[in-house]
Structure 1
Amino acid sequence: MEPEIYFNIVSHIRKSRGLTRTCMKQLVKLFPEQSYDTLFSILSLEYQKRMKCNHMKTQMNKNKYWELYLEGVKNMDSPGIIVRIAERLDVAPCLVAKLILSQYFENNESSGSSDQVTLNVNSYLRDTTLIPDMNLASEIFLCTLYDNIYSPLTETMRSSVGQQYEVKLCREVTKLGLGFRDEEHLRKHGYDKTPDCKLEVPVMIDGLVVNWIESKALFGDEDVHKDYMKNQYLSYWNRFGPGLVIYWFGYVQTIVEPNDKRFTIRDHVPQNMIHISPPNFEMDDTPGTGT
């Protein structure tokens, strides 16, 4: 993706306030040439950065969120009290829900230690039917429906999408007739950090030798790429040599360094791979030359 287009998308996201669902609808209308997956990935990354920056402030407002919730209950407001609080204060609904749940259990004398409170919060966010207070349970459930970034359902879907694209990578590599070892096989043989595909025989892509391929079902921006480079790609390069990174939902062109020979970046599996055939050793039938 060209930097100008990327910065226009990011600029709109950073100016947007309220629910990410609303922002996503606007992005689809403003940037129809971009795929839904690409726009949602950029939105998710940017919104998570915003929430991290405001983390301490959000934590400090726990009592405020709890009081606003109780006020809504007292006034018999329509369902969606916590969602509306989150929208008004520009915080992810599930993050507000977690803090309200935490306060709820802290106010309960039988809630136990802080570790137990955290355990209860995470468990009840995943299964709201376990929350003793039926009204609160209903409110928390609505948060999981309206939050498309931090909801447990979204986390499960994100993990599932990642696995689907890893399967897609393996299928496409197989169709190209390339032998490879997957992540599970490498871990069984003692590798702690492993790419999704370790090629048995290297290939050439635009003049670069490729020994491994890593699949990422997201958009590659500067921060994402730097983080993965530090924690994964450089380890792969040290162990296996240069490789290929695939950001399936696209990437901003500024992360590509033309002179970097450690790995190449794509948003698909290249079809122009040059196979490097192993040497063809012929048996010498002359008597006395065998070993």
Structure 2
Amino acid sequence: MAMKAQLFKEIVIFVREYKGLSFYCLEELCGLYPSVNKDTLASILSYEYQTRLRFVHFKNQQARIRYWEAYTKGLKSKNKTGIIINIAKKEGISPCLIAKLIMLEYLKRSNKVGTEENMVQTVTKYLRNTSLIPDYKLAYEVFLCTVFDNLYSPVADVIRSSTGQQYEIQLHNEVTKLGLAFRDEEYLRKCGYDKTPDIKLEVSIAIDGFIVNWIESKALFGSEKVHKDYTESQYLSYWNRFGPGLVIYWFGYIETIIDPNNKNFMVCDHLPTDIIQIRNDK
């Protein structure tokens, strides 16, 4: 069922006005909106934080020295743990992003790595395995960031990737159970297609009178901006090549993206089972 625009607006306003870590923001959202699926809330939260980080990223690069100074100052204070976490709370930015910038400044000042490109590669390695960081205090601080950053830590990246794969597998299984013949994304790419849906049906189906030739799985919430971006970058390409299709936002979607006059693709939050296979038998 589509989410009402007013409810979506309330959730977005809460996220944008929240002061603190996304880790705790999600907990509060779950308490405020118990009727909304946690994955749905997490998806909305993630997108809003991504937008915020894109907006402030350049400023944060310039503020690298300031974050480093705040970190070194924190080491001298009585509260000697969770320093980077506290900086992230104050700035309203991802702890892991702050940690990356501080590690870059650490490497620059210690002359441990040469070029900026090498430093970035080293920081990525450090973030994935904090035990590799030579400075044990910094290593512990960065480790805390990976624990309390539920959006941009290496663990969060793995979970996000595996969740997407999980729902693609679920889609494959459901399509198979329905007895539908299809080709997957891997097969289509071998055939030379650069942009491909997750499922290309060999035999078209009809859902509520709408013809479907392909199915795309999205393990996220379909807001207006998300839907617009994917429509321009993916869905219209699929329509041009394969005709009309079906987009599944597994974590729901806002009601305003539904256009009854859209003949390119339909939107659902699940794979409908009440379908009709359209055969061209002669």
Question: Which TM class, normalised by the smaller chain length?
Answer: over 0.9
Identify the match of residue 232 of structure 2 among 209, 230, 234.
230
Tell whether 2:281 aligns with 1:276: no
Aligned letter for 1:71?
K
Take 2:112 and 2:11, find their aligned partners in 1: how far apart are those partners? 48
**Aligned mates of 1:212, 1:158 — CA distance in 2:** 24
Matches within 5 A, 1:1-291: 1-279=3-281, 281=282
Q: Within 1, Cα distance between the matches of 2:73 and 2:153?
A: 25
User: Using the alignment, how far apart are the partners of 1:114 and 1:42 within structure 2?
Assistant: 33
Which letter maps to 1:11?
Answer: I
Q: Deviations over 1:18-66 (max 9, x none)?
A: 1011111111111111011001111111111111111122222111110
Query: Aligned-pair distance for 1:76?
Result: 5.0
Question: CA deviation digits over 1:145-183, x for unaligned, max 9?
Answer: 000111111011000000000000000111111110011
Amino acid at match of 2:128: R
Greater relative CO (CA pairs within 8 A, separation 6+) = 2
The AA in structure 2 aligned to 1:87 is: K
1:199 is matched by which residue type in structure 2? L
**Structure 1: gaps spanning 5 or more residues:** 282-291
The equivalent residue for 1:284 is: none
Gaps of 5+ in 2: none
Structure possessing the higher radius of gyration over alpha carbons: 1
Give percent identity, aligned residues only. Answer: 54
User: Structure 1's 233 and 139: CA in aligned 2 closer, same or farther, altered over 3 A?
Assistant: same
In the superposition, the TM-score normalised over structure 2's length comes to 0.97
Query: Counterparts of 1:271 and 1:110 in 2: how far apart (Å)?
Result: 59
CA RMSD of aligned residues (A): 1.0
Any idea what SS the aligned residue of 2:152 has? coil
SS at match of 2:204: strand
Shift of 1:4: 1.0
Structure 2: distance between partners of 1:145 and 1:38 = 21
Quote how far apart the aligned CAs of 1:78 are: 3.0
Report the CA distance between 1:245 and its aligned residue.
Answer: 0.2
Partner SS for 2:112: helix
**SS of the counterpart of 1:54?**
helix
Q: 1:109 Cα deviation (Å)?
A: 2.0
SS in structure 2 at match of 1:172: helix
Question: Structure 1: which amino acid aligns with 2:202?
Answer: E
- The amino acid of 1:119's aligned partner reads Q
The number of equivalent residue pairs is 280
Counterpart CA distance in 1 for 2:242 and 2:16 is 39
After superposition, the C-alpha distances for 1:249-274 in whole angstroms (9 at most, x for unaligned) are: 00001111110100000000011111
Q: Secondary structure at the match of 1:101?
A: helix
Distance in 2, Cα, partners of 1:109 & 1:2 = 54
Local SS of the residue matching 1:32: coil
